[in-house]
Each structure stands twice: as structure tokens, then as C-alpha cells.
């Protein structure tokens, strides 16, 4: 038996990723500046990208960022209570990756490598790494 995978168009992938990312941004109550910075977009691009009719393209880096951030969200929702899961990224953190800064700040400053490090850190906390 052969399984045929349905190939998705880049526009469909972008739309799904942006919709999920917008939900995470809302759940975390991120500012426009933080949401745009975390996605590696200008604020004006993020304003356009979160609309359903966005026709722009996302880079591979941006798609990886969105995917990793969604994974961070999922880990936080599984590991912490609702209140802490929703505020964890915006609270100062003394953990080894953060040095007293908010995780979202370190993710914006460190880019994709830091976002992936945070994802790995959270997966390890919940026993997945």
C-alpha cells in the first residue's frame, strides 16, 4: 500500500503558520514590537501578515521561527498552569538561557538559534529531550 502525501502550496503553509502564530501572540499578549521581532518582520509587515488575505512570502527562517514558537507555546501549555504558561515568555527569568531577561527578549536578540534553544530547554523540562 502506497501513501500519497498531499502537497501543500507555500501560500497555504504560510497562511496556516501565520494563523497559528497570531493565536500564540494573542495568548501571550505580546506587543506589536515583540510579535514582529520574534517573527523577524517589521511591525508594518506583521500588521499585514496577521490578516487572512496576506499574500506576502515568508522566508524559510521565518517559517522555522514560527514553527519553533508554536512548539514553545505547546510545551508551556503542557508543562505549566494556564496563567504561568501565558505569561512565562514575558516574565524575567533567571534560568540559564535568560540571565534575568524576559525569554521573548532573548529570543528576539538571539534569533532562530535562541528560539530553538528555548524550545529544546522546555522540551527537556517536560522530559522530552
Residue 2 has pLDDT above 80, yes or no: no
What is the spatial distance between Cα 114 and Cα 49, in angstroms, rounded to a whole number?
Answer: 23
Exposed/middle/buried for 111, CB within 10 Å: 0-12, 13-18, 19+? Answer: middle
Entry pTM: 0.89
Phi-psi map region of 29: left, alpha, beta (phi>0 left; psi -120 to 50 alpha):
left
The predicted-structure confidence for 27-38, as pLDDT tens digits, reads as follows: 999 999 999 999
The predicted-structure confidence for 68-84, as pLDDT tens digits, reads as follows: 999 999 999 999 999 99
Amino acid at each position: 500500500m502506497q501513501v500519497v502525501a498531499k502537497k501543500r502550496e507555500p501560500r497555504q503553509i504560510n497562511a496556516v503558520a501565520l494563523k497559528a502564530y497570531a493565536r500564540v501572540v494573542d495568548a501571550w499578549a505580546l506587543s506589536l514590537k515583540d510579535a514582529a521581532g520574534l517573527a523577524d518582520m517589521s511591525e508594518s509587515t506583521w500588521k499585514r501578515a496577521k490578516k487572512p488575505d496576506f499574500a506576502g512570502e515568508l522566508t524559510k527562517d521565518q517559517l522555522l521561527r514560527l514553527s519553533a514558537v508554536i512548539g514553545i507555546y505547546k510545551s508551556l501549555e503542557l508543562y505549566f498552569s494556564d496563567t504561568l504558561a501565558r505569561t512565562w515568555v514575558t516574565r524575567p527569568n533567571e534560568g540559564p538561557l535568560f540571565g534575568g531577561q524576559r525569554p521573548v527578549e532573548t529570543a528576539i536578540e538571539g534569533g532562530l538559534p535562541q528560539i530553538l534553544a528555548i524550545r529544546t530547554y522546555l522540551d527537556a523540562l517536560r522530559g522530552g529531550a
